[in-house]
A = this chain, B = another copy of it.
Amino acid sequence: MEDKEMLTIREMCEAFDVTPRTLRFYEAKELLFPLREGQKRLFTRRDRGRLKLILRGKRFGFSLEEMRQLLDLYDRGDAQEEQLKRTYEVARDRLAQMERQRDELNEAIEELRGQLQWGADMIASFRRPAAE
C-alpha cells in the first residue's frame, strides 16, 4: 500500500483540483469507472491514471470524446502496432491543428497591430462611416 488504494470523490477532487460534478460527469461519459462501496464511488489507481491523462489531454486541446476514444482504444488489453500508430497520428494531427490555429491567431494579431499602429485611423474605423 503505497498511497491509498482507493480514493473517495472528495480526495480525488483535491488530488486533481476538479469538482465532484466533473468526476461524475466523466463517469457518465465513460471516461472513468470508479468502483462502488454501497452507493459511494471509490476511485482506483486506474482511474487516477486515466484522469491524469484526461487532464493532460485537455491541456493539449483534446476534447473529452477524443480522450475517451484514445483511452478506450488502448484499454482493451493488447494494443497492437496498428493501433499504436493511430494514436500517434491523432496526436500529430492535433499538433498540426494547433499550429494552424496559432498561425491564424498570429495573423489576426498582426492585422490588429497594424490597425493600432495607425492610431487615429483605428479609432476612425470604428466611427460611423461618414455622414448621412
Question: Which residues of A does B touch, CB under 8 Å?
Answer: 45-46, 48-50, 53, 56, 59-61, 70-71, 74-75, 79, 84, 87-88, 91-92, 94-95, 98-99, 101-102, 105-106, 108-109, 111-113, 115-116, 119, 122-123, 125-130, 132
Number of copies: 2
B105, A91: Cβ atoms under 8 Å?
A: no
A126, B95: Cβ atoms under 8 Å?
A: no
Q: Complex Cα distance A49/B126, Å?
A: 10
Q: Complex Cα distance A28/B74, Å?
A: 49
Residues of B within 8 A of A101 (CB): 105
Q: Other CB < 8 Å A-B pairs besides A46-B132, A95-B112, 17 of them? A: A45-B129, A46-B128, A48-B129, A49-B128, A61-B108, A74-B128, A84-B123, A87-B123, A88-B119, A88-B122, A88-B123, A94-B112, A98-B108, A98-B109, A101-B105, A102-B106, A102-B109
B112, A74: Cβ atoms under 8 Å?
A: no
Q: List 9 A-B contacts (CB under 8 A).
A: A46-B128, A49-B130, A53-B125, A61-B108, A74-B127, A91-B116, A94-B112, A95-B109, A95-B113
The 7 closest A-B CB pairs, nearest first, are A49-B129, A102-B105, A74-B127, A84-B123, A60-B112, A98-B109, A95-B112
